Amino acid sequence: MTSKIALVTGAGSGIGRACAKALMDAGWIVVLAGRRTEELDATAAHAPDRALAVPTDIADEVQVEALFETVRARCGRLDLLFNNAGAGAGGRLEDLSLEAWRRVVDVNLTGAFLCARGAFRLMKDQSPQGGRIVNNGSISAHAPRPFSVAYTATKHAITGLTRSTSLEGRAYDIACGQIDIGNAQTEMTAAMARGVPQADGSFAPEPLMDVKAVADAVVYMAGLPLAANVQFMTVMATKMPFIGRG
């Protein structure tokens, strides 16, 4: 195949959908993973000849293994994994249920690990060897929002996953980097324009940026030769409360 192969998780909406479309526009064939078949199909409709929708719950090991077997069988190789899918659970720490905590950990951390492991195995075994993994870390990999203990803990853990994968990947030409995103405008962040809790206890609207800025950044990271890597990139709404948050 002449086109490079990408896999985007959480490709049915938001950042995942925007990045999948941008990769298609840049000439990639994109495997779309997510739980909602109809939403994946809507993303695939952007460029049906460059998209393959594979409904997958990344928190389920059996489904993730089936996803990578589909990539191997249908595409022959994998050049990029954008490890993007995520979940959140709002609420005060003392009120958060163990069930809600485990769901966020299962998706954001265990799911990211399962996909990184699947990509690593495929990239290690394929010829030519190697590929790239980009993890979505989020601004919360650095600084928490109020009432986001589960999300913040998992996103801090993604940084460790990124660093370990980057280190172990050196022997096989597998590059791994992380993109930390702040306030990209999607259906999931619409509430920020109306107002969200702040660290000082107030409630205030926050600036948003066009999600295209994120998609462009991911396409740039994906397009680098494997001898070069963006280890960490932060792309954020310029005036959002991050620098000096709290």
Q: Name the pLDDT band for 189 (thresholds 50, 70, 90).
A: confident
Question: Does the residue 245 lie in any domain?
Answer: no
Question: Does the residue 241 lie in any domain?
Answer: no
Decide if pLDDT at 2 tops 70. no
Decide if pLDDT at 200 tops 90. no
Query: Torsion angle of alpha carbons 238, 241, 242, 246, nearest 10°?
Result: 160
Question: Does the residue 196 lie in any domain?
Answer: yes
Question: Does the residue 159 lie in any domain?
Answer: yes
Q: What is the pLDDT of residue 187?
A: 84
Q: What is the pLDDT of residues 25-81, one digit of tens each?
A: 999 999 999 999 999 999 999 999 999 999 999 999 999 999 999 999 999 999 999
Q: What is the pLDDT of residues 80-117, one digit of tens each?
A: 999 999 888 788 999 999 999 999 999 999 999 999 99
Quote the domain boundaries for residue 92: 5-236
Cβ-contact 106, 58 below 8 angstroms: no
Q: What is the pLDDT of residue 1?
A: 47
Query: What pairing do the DSSP bridges indicate for beta strands 131-136 and 174-182?
Result: parallel
Question: Does the residue 156 lie in any domain?
Answer: yes
The CATH number given to whatever domain includes residue 220 is 3.40.50.720
Global pTM value: 0.95
* 120-140 average pLDDT score: 97
Question: Does the residue 105 lie in any domain?
Answer: yes
Question: Does the residue 167 lie in any domain?
Answer: yes
Decide if pLDDT at 119 tops 90. yes
Closest by CA position to 6, among listed 89, 69, 71, 90: 71
Decide if pLDDT at 235 tops 60. yes
Cβ-contact 153, 210 below 8 angstroms: no
Question: Does the residue 242 lie in any domain?
Answer: no
Cβ-contact 231, 141 below 8 angstroms: no
> What total of structural domains would you count in the chain?
1
Percent of the chain with pLDDT over 90: 84
Report the Cα 96 to chain-centroid distance in Å: 24
Q: Which residues are catalytic?
A: 151
